[in-house]
Amino acid sequence: MRSRPWIFRIAPMIALLLCVSPALRADDRGEGELNPNPPTGIAVDQIIQKFAAKEKEFKQAREKYTWHQTIIVQTVDGDTVDGEYKQEFDVLFDDKAKRIEHVTFAPASTLERIQMTPEDEADFRKLMPFVLTSDEIPEYSIKYVGQQKQDELNTYVFDISPIKIEKNKRYFEGRVWVDNHDLQIVKTFGKAVPDIKKKGNENLFPKFTTWREQVDGVYWFPTYTKADDELHFSNGDIHTRQIVKYARYKRFGSAVKITYDGQEVKKGEEQGGGKSQTPQQSPPPK
């Protein structure tokens, strides 16, 4: 998000700002107590290798699905929403099986204190539904921090940060929760990096949480992202809220095959029709 300082209303502030890594900030969304003990029966490196391989499978499978996506961005002054951007679109395929987006609803933006940037648009599509595959593993430092209950799920918890930030490339920094049964990411909390802070060009990004649900009986798909954060621009703070919803996942094309651990996923197992052995987690109220 980029601020529009010529109309920003600066208010007196008395605050103590704590510089805390987003990966270490407490997340108050119903998590159980964090158990820092190492996993039993499997090495940490094996968990990382296995979930990264599953994430690669998931990323390839999701490319064969269509879905409906909603993006809402708001600025908040006290308890009042004083600006909003909203867009809804279907992620589809054209008659040549090429991925396209069809906008279904896009009212005029009323945002005044911030403006959307190309980096925001890219983050909504790529980093908020974060996927960490075996191809991306070399780009990140991955630290095991323990085990934690997420609703009915038992998860391994990892803190992730980019090893090196390449020019014009976006990364995720934060925390991921990996289901200990399916070895797939079921939740992420963090932010897109880097923030862009140059003279006359401040482009800042909020911390967000993304929840996944098992919508095809096999893979965990992102279904809900929420951000509620203060962006600390040089001319003052701006409170922003963001929500991204992903709905109506549907496999594209009767000839497409989705595999999991080398086995084809049958049609009766998609869209949550299969028998999952893993309890579901619940996103927050929407």
**Does residue 280 form part of some domain?**
no
Of residues 125 and 275, the one with the higher pLDDT is 125
DSSP 35: B
Locate 170 and state its tokens: 């976006």
The answer to whether the beta carbons of residues 119 and 203 sit under 8 Å apart is yes
In 3D, which of 65, 57, 121 has the Cα closest to residue 246?
65
Buried b / exposed e over 114-131, threshold 16 CB at 10 Å, is bebbebbeebbeebbbbb
3-state secondary structure of 47: helix
How far CA 225 is from CA of 97, 120, 137, 149, 218, in Å, comes to: 28, 14, 23, 20, 21
Identify the weakest region by mean pLDDT among 48-57, 62-71, 210-219, 257-266: 257-266
Please give the pLDDT value at position 62: 96
Total number of domains constituting the chain: 1
pLDDT at 271 over 70: no
In 3D, which of 58, 63, 66, 49 has the Cα closest to residue 218?
58
**Does residue 14 form part of some domain?**
no
In 3D, which of 121, 123, 113, 128 has the Cα closest to residue 81?
113
pLDDT at 48 over 50: yes
Structural domain harbouring 195 = 64-269
Identify the weakest region by mean pLDDT among 16-30, 43-57, 71-85, 172-186: 16-30
**Does residue 114 form part of some domain?**
yes
**Does residue 152 form part of some domain?**
yes
**Does residue 41 form part of some domain?**
no
Please give the pLDDT value at position 19: 37
**Does residue 12 form part of some domain?**
no
pLDDT at 25 over 70: no
Average pLDDT over residues 25-47: 84
Band of pLDDT at residue 273, cut at 50, 70 and 90? very low
Please give the pLDDT value at position 7: 35
* CATH number, position 139: 2.50.20
Average pLDDT over residues 52-57: 97
Residue with tokens 């005029």: 108
Q: What is the mean pLDDT of the chain?
A: 85
pLDDT at 200 over 90: no
pLDDT at 268 over 80: no
pLDDT at 251 over 60: yes
DSSP 108-168: PP---SEE--HHHHHHHHHTTT----TTTGGGEEEEEEEEEEETTEEEEEEEEEESS--TT
Please give the pLDDT value at position 49: 98
Share above pLDDT 70 across residues of the chain, in percent, rounded to a whole number:
79
**Does residue 71 form part of some domain?**
yes
pLDDT at 264 over 70: no
**Model confidence, pTM:** 0.83
**Does residue 274 form part of some domain?**
no
Q: What are the tens digits of pLDDT across the range 123-172?
A: 999 999 999 999 999 999 999 999 999 999 999 999 999 999 999 999 99
Q: What are the tens digits of pLDDT across the range 61-95?
A: 999 999 999 999 999 999 999 999 999 999 999 98
98 Cα distance to chain centroid: 24
Identify the weakest region by mean pLDDT among 14-18, 40-44, 57-61: 14-18
